[in-house]
Amino acid sequence: MASILNKISFKNFFNYYGDFNDNSYDLEEGVNIIVADNGAGKSKFFNAFLWLFYDQILDSDTKQKVNVKNAGVKILSDKAKNETPIGSRVDCGILIEYTYGTRYKYQIIKSFTATRISESITNESSWQFMINDIEVNRTELVLQRYKPVYDESEKRQIIDRLIMPAFRKYSFLQGEEVDDIIDFSKKESIEEAVENLTDIKRYEEIHELLAGFKKKAFNDLQNQMKANNADNERFDNAVKEKENIEHKLEHEQEKLQEWKDTFDAAEKEKIELDKEYANAEKRKEFDDKLKPLRKKLRDKKEEFENFLDRINNRFFDGNFAWIAFGFEDEVQKFRELNDRYIERRYEKKALKSVEENPNEYFHFLPENSPDSVSLQNMIDDEHCYVCNREAKEGTPEYQNLLKLKSRPKDKQTEQAFVKNDLKNFFGDIQINAQPFYTKFDNIEESIIKTKEKDEELKNSIEKLRKQIKSLEDDRSSILISGHDAELTAQEVISNYNGAVRRMENANGKISDIILPKISKFKKELKAVEEEIKNLNKTNDIPSGYNENYEVLNDLEEAAQNAKERVFDGMINLLEKHANIHFKNLIKNNDLSGGILKFEKNPNGSINFNYIDSNGNNVHGSSEGFQRMKKFSVVMAIISANNSEYNYPLLADAPISAFGEGFTEGFFDAIGNVFPQSIVLVKELYKREDDMKINELGKRLLKDDIVKTMYVNHVPENSEQIDLVTTQTKLK
Amino acid sequence: MNAQEFRSLILVKKPRYAKSRIPVMEAFANKGQSKSEYSQFGPLYELYIYAFRLGLKKGLKLPLPPRNLTQDFVEIGKWKRDSSLVDFLLMIIFSRSEEIGFDWNDLEDMEEKEINKVVSDIIDFIESYANGGLQYIQEEWENDNLMNSSYLFVDLMRQ
């Protein structure tokens, strides 16, 4: 019977601010995907399961697992903390519902209550925490009415049944942990997997038991012989020889163990360095991407600062002239005053002329009015076109026209008619101030454009920041998963070569010297035992002792062989399954034709290689590729199991090191292996998209294997206190 | 007196501000030096012109205290030299000639002494409104009403 998660809800749990109803994910049998960018609650989601199973959370700052009771301040939503008045309480918790088989459904709630006692919300001492009792409820599926479970051990059982502890390591993957699940350098890790999957433990027990019985049967036989034939020298010699060979064999086996340990240590070092080497390269890739981005950010920031510094310049720069804003009336007034001034100036001048020449009224006419060409026409035609009357030569009218025409010449001899001639003062102002008073209509628009430019700069800075942050996050995840190298590249290489040499040396000693010796001693031992048996026949001892020993001898050998067959059989099966999964995983990649090969090392550990289509070992592949291989084995361990695998897969970003081709294969593969999988993933997120998922996300959304899909959102550019995760259900 | 001489009469003047405004002047005009938490102008005259504009538009006319409690700074002729800014300022000032108390045409018939009085009134006019504007900024600042934004003065102008 499989456990299927139906729902997970959060209350004020990290960014999941609000009640359980506000932060609820309905889940189904099959593949469930939760898409979230960095910082949008992916790891927090996963932390709920750490709390459920182990009362722990993973502190994202220190990457350490800490007990919930010591991490209340971190777990409780900042917004909820901020909104809780001093002296009041606030709850925080997780709620999980799952179905087991066809009859029961369970609900588990883990929570704590925090009381605020002083101002600073992020300070540990500002809060009192009380862990609440675990609430476990059960309902029959037909009734749908939860009843509480009170018994503590039953509660524990119900929590464990969701994913049994022995299988959690295959079912419960956070970040790059898949690297550590199957450590091929350790004999135990593959043995443990085989143990979990087969009844090999029982063969071992039988073998041990039989070996004991065989020893006892031999002792019994020996005692009989001595009793019956104390003087049998040949027999004594044979027994002595047997003991001698046994002693030598023991010695060789001790030596074997020592060389195995040497091999183990060297192999472990080599594998550690493998990771560091791959990580060093991967890190460099990120650094190469980060460097130009950081420079771009610096430049943009500088541009933005300059831009901000210069905003106030726009008040006084004639191209913008913001200072003129609202001065339309003044400018209009100036023009009116100027017109009036000029008008009155003429009047004044005219009056002055009239005083001097009382008969020349034309002083009232502005200069050049009428213009000289028109005047010449009027003189030539002897007609005034202004008053449309005749002005025949010789008449006063004709004289007047002549006078008018020669006026500019008279002006040169004109006397100043004011003490201070300021005409040009005002005229110049009106001309020079133009850049400022011709921009009234544009100022508002120019301010809006400035703010738009501001926004544009801010956005591009923010975009760069996010790009950098995202790369830095990915980079730091490599450091943590790969035990950040303190050694220089040169040291890594020389240590790596040293470890390989030590491995080869140990392997040579074991295979060429020790194992042949052991094999030789074992043969001799067998011959001696045969000789002893023959010697016995000549003695008159009860046949039961002999038969007993012989039967037990055969049985012990059979049990040993059976154990090895089961182990080898399982390794073969795992290899077969791993290859099936591996093919699925890489089907969208360029890799093709190769296979995974399990090979036994002298120390009993499994060498796990990728052999290309030409039969060559492929070395030094990327961390992502390594992880893909390991993931194939994890899935093989599950699918090679005789019975159906009954637990959901909970995975947090297990694919961050892979390309898109692998990501697609991953979802296909887990759909075939796990009855249910819940995968939190960043790679499908696309901020610019309306649905916030990329093309691959959209393809998966349409895929039948994907049963539900959610996208998590956090508001852009928000303060920590307003950082609230909300979710959209796409499917 | 001709146009140029009259213009010079105004442009050589160094307007003054009350010493009580020194903190505002230092906070909002950095003279190309260190930055403060608020949006700033560069030279003092920029802030001064802005304050004058603010005072004028808000009708905040506040005469300066006695001369020994005031301080002068660069003469008007050196305010953003070789630009139209000073002409535009003169345009605004002369559009308010009635308020200052003179008539354009009358200017042309005045004795030098009388002209000097008008120029002195013009400077008083600038100083009083700038003082009013500065007081407004100072009060807003002291009452924490100023937004710490790069658009502080843009928004204040459009209020």
Confidence tier at A418 by pLDDT (50, 70, 90): confident
Shortest distance, CA B15 to any CA of chain A (angstroms): 18
Residue B34 pLDDT exceeds 80:
no
When mean pLDDT is compared over A39-43, A255-259, A359-363, A475-479, the highest value belongs to A255-259
Residue A490 pLDDT exceeds 70:
no
Q: Domain for residue A589, yes or no?
A: no
State the best of A306, A313, A315 to mutate against chain B, taking most chain B CBs within 10 Å: A315
Shortest distance, CA B141 to any CA of chain A (angstroms): 18
Residue A489 pLDDT exceeds 60:
no
Q: Residue B84 and residue A425: Cβ atoms within 8 Å?
A: no
User: What local confidence, expressed as pLDDT, does residue A622 receive?
Assistant: 59
Which residues in chain A have their CB less than 8 angstroms from residue B85's CB? 316, 318, 323, 436
User: Alpha-carbon Rg of chain B, whole angstroms?
Assistant: 16
* ipTM summary value: 0.95
Q: What are the φ/ψ torsions at residue A656 (nearest 5 degrees)?
A: -65, -20
Which residues in chain B have their CB less than 8 angstroms from residue A333's CB? 95-96
Q: Residue A436 and residue B85: Cβ atoms within 8 Å?
A: yes
Give the separation between CA A585 and CA A655, rounded to whole angstroms: 11
Assign residue B114 a region (left: φ > 0; alpha: ψ between -120 and 50; beta: otherwise). alpha
The residue ranking higher by pLDDT, A113 or A409, is A113
State the residue range of the domain holding A42.
3-163+647-729
Q: Residue A316 and residue B104: Cβ atoms within 8 Å?
A: no
The residue ranking higher by pLDDT, A179 or B7, is B7
Which residues in chain B have their CB less than 8 angstroms from residue A432's CB? 84, 87
User: What local confidence, expressed as pLDDT, does residue A659 receive?
Assistant: 63
Q: Residue A433 and residue B158: Cβ atoms within 8 Å?
A: no
Q: Residue B84 and residue A318: Cβ atoms within 8 Å?
A: yes
Please state the rounded mean pLDDT for residues A100-121.
Answer: 90
The residue ranking higher by pLDDT, A567 or A446, is A446
Stretch among A204-208, A406-410, A438-442, B16-20 having the lowest mean pLDDT: A406-410
Shortest distance, CA B68 to any CA of chain A (angstroms): 31
Confidence tier at A247 by pLDDT (50, 70, 90): very high
Which residues in chain A have their CB less than 8 angstroms from residue B91's CB? 330-331, 334, 429-430, 433, 436-437
Q: Domain for residue A136, yes or no?
A: yes
Please state the rounded mean pLDDT for residues A420-439.
Answer: 90
Across all residues in chain B, what is the average pLDDT? 90
User: What local confidence, expressed as pLDDT, does residue A580 receive?
Assistant: 84
Q: Domain for residue A484, yes or no?
A: no
Q: Residue B97 and residue A337: Cβ atoms within 8 Å?
A: yes
**What proportion of chain A, given as a percentage, has pLDDT over 90?**
21
3-state DSSP assignment of residue A708: strand
> Can the peptide bond before residue A370 be classed as cis, meaning omega within 30 degrees of 0?
yes
Query: Which amino acid type is present at position A402?
Result: L
Domain boundary residue, one of A437, A462, A497: A437
Chain B residues within 8 angstroms (CB to CB) of chain A: 1-4, 6-7, 39-42, 46, 49-50, 53, 57, 80, 83-85, 87-88, 90-92, 94-97, 104-105, 107-111, 115, 150-151, 153-154, 157-158
User: What local confidence, expressed as pLDDT, does residue B72 receive?
Assistant: 92
Give the separation between CA A460 and CA A480, rounded to whole angstroms: 30
For residue B51 the two structure tokens come to: 């304050």
For residue A542 the two structure tokens come to: 């009860």
CB A209 within 8 A of CB A556: no
State the best of A340, A349, A421, A429 to mutate against chain B, taking most chain B CBs within 10 Å: A429
How many domains, in total, are found in chain A? 2
Stretch among A184-193, A264-273, A369-378, A719-728 having the lowest mean pLDDT: A184-193
CB A127 within 8 A of CB A114: yes
CB B7 within 8 A of CB B68: no
What's the pLDDT tens digit per position in A353-381?
A: 777 766 665 556 777 778 888 888 999 99
3-state DSSP assignment of residue A610: strand
Neighbours of A102 (CB within 10 A): 8
User: What local confidence, expressed as pLDDT, does residue B99 receive?
Assistant: 94
User: What local confidence, expressed as pLDDT, does residue A416 receive?
Assistant: 72
Nearest-CA residue of chain B relative to A336?
A: B95
Give the separation between CA A216 and CA B27, rounded to whole angstroms: 100
Q: Give A619-625 contacts, CB < 8 A, sequence gap 24+.
A: A620/A274, A620/A277, A620/A278, A621/A278, A622/A278, A622/A281, A622/A282, A622/A657, A623/A275, A623/A278, A623/A279, A623/A282, A623/A478, A623/A482, A623/A657, A624/A657, A624/A658, A624/A659, A624/A662
What's the pLDDT tens digit per position in A553-587?
A: 888 888 888 888 888 888 888 888 888 888 877 77
User: What local confidence, expressed as pLDDT, does residue A183 receive?
Assistant: 60
Q: What are the φ/ψ torsions at residue A483 (nearest 5 degrees)?
A: 50, 80
What's the pLDDT tens digit per position in A51-70?
A: 999 899 888 777 778 898 88
Shortest distance, CA A121 to any CA of chain B (angstroms): 26
Please state the rounded mean pLDDT for residues A323-342.
Answer: 93
The residue ranking higher by pLDDT, B150 or B132, is B132
The set of residues, in sequence order, having a beta carbon less than 8 Å from that of A401 and lying 6+ positions away, is A375, A378, A379, A384, A391
Q: Domain for residue A375, yes or no?
A: yes
Secondary structure string (H, E, C) spanning A633-677: HHHHHHHCCCCCCCCCEEEECCCCCCCHHHHHHHHHHHHHHCCEE
The residue ranking higher by pLDDT, B32 or A202, is A202
Shortest distance, CA A297 to any CA of chain B (angstroms): 20
CB A327 within 8 A of CB B56: no
What's the pLDDT tens digit per position in A41-51?
A: 888 888 898 89
Closest CA to A45 of A31, A33, A61: A33
Pick A425's closest partner by Cβ from B7, B50, B53: B7
Across all residues in chain A, what is the average pLDDT? 82
Residue A179 pLDDT exceeds 60:
no
Pick B91's closest partner by Cβ from A331, A422, A424: A331
Which residues in chain A have their CB less than 8 angstroms from residue B10's CB? none
When mean pLDDT is compared over A78-87, A183-192, A198-207, A528-537, the highest value belongs to A78-87
Residue A185 pLDDT exceeds 60:
no
Which residues in chain B have their CB less than 8 angstroms from residue A312's CB? 39-42, 46, 153
pTM above 0.95, yes or no: no
**What proportion of chain B, given as a percentage, has pLDDT over 70?**
95
Q: Residue A424 and residue B41: Cβ atoms within 8 Å?
A: no
User: What local confidence, expressed as pLDDT, does residue A584 receive?
Assistant: 78
User: What local confidence, expressed as pLDDT, does residue A483 receive?
Assistant: 46
Q: Domain for residue A257, yes or no?
A: no
Q: Residue A426 and residue B49: Cβ atoms within 8 Å?
A: no
Nearest-CA residue of chain A relative to B8?
A: A425
Residue B37 pLDDT exceeds 50:
yes
Domain boundary residue, one of A384, A408, A437: A437
Q: Residue B41 and residue A324: Cβ atoms within 8 Å?
A: no
State the best of A420, A434, A443, A444 to mutate against chain B, taking most chain B CBs within 10 Å: A420
Which residues in chain A have their CB less than 8 angstroms from residue B37's CB? none
Nearest-CA residue of chain A relative to B2?
A: A421
Give the separation between CA A712 and CA A691, rounded to whole angstroms: 11
User: Alpha-carbon Rg of chain A, whole angstroms?
Assistant: 47
User: What local confidence, expressed as pLDDT, does residue A484 receive?
Assistant: 47
Q: Angle, nearest 10°, between helix axes A372-381 and A396-405?
A: 150
Which residues in chain A have their CB less than 8 angstroms from residue B113's CB? none
Stretch among A82-86, A619-623, A643-647 having the lowest mean pLDDT: A619-623
Residue A481 pLDDT exceeds 50:
no
Which residues in chain B have their CB less than 8 angstroms from residue A426's CB? 94, 104
When mean pLDDT is compared over A235-239, A642-646, A690-694, the highest value belongs to A690-694
Q: Domain for residue A486, yes or no?
A: no
Query: Which amino acid type is present at position B54?
Result: L
User: What local confidence, expressed as pLDDT, does residue A333 receive?
Assistant: 94
What's the pLDDT tens digit per position in A159-174?
A: 988 888 877 777 777 6
Q: Domain for residue A97, yes or no?
A: yes
Stretch among A115-119, A280-284, A344-348, A508-512 having the lowest mean pLDDT: A280-284
Residue A414 pLDDT exceeds 60:
no
User: What local confidence, expressed as pLDDT, does residue B132 receive?
Assistant: 95
Residue A61, judged by CB atoms within 10 A of its CB (0-12, 13-18, 19+), counts as exposed
Q: Domain for residue A680, yes or no?
A: yes
Pairing of strands A135-140, A104-116: antiparallel
Give the separation between CA A28 and CA A6, rounded to whole angstroms: 6
Domain boundary residue, one of A437, A462, A477: A437
Please state the rounded mean pLDDT for residues A628-651.
Answer: 76
Residue B4: its H or E element: helix B3-11
The residue ranking higher by pLDDT, A128 or A490, is A128
CB A596 within 8 A of CB A614: no
CATH of the domain at A690: 3.40.50
Confidence tier at A136 by pLDDT (50, 70, 90): very high
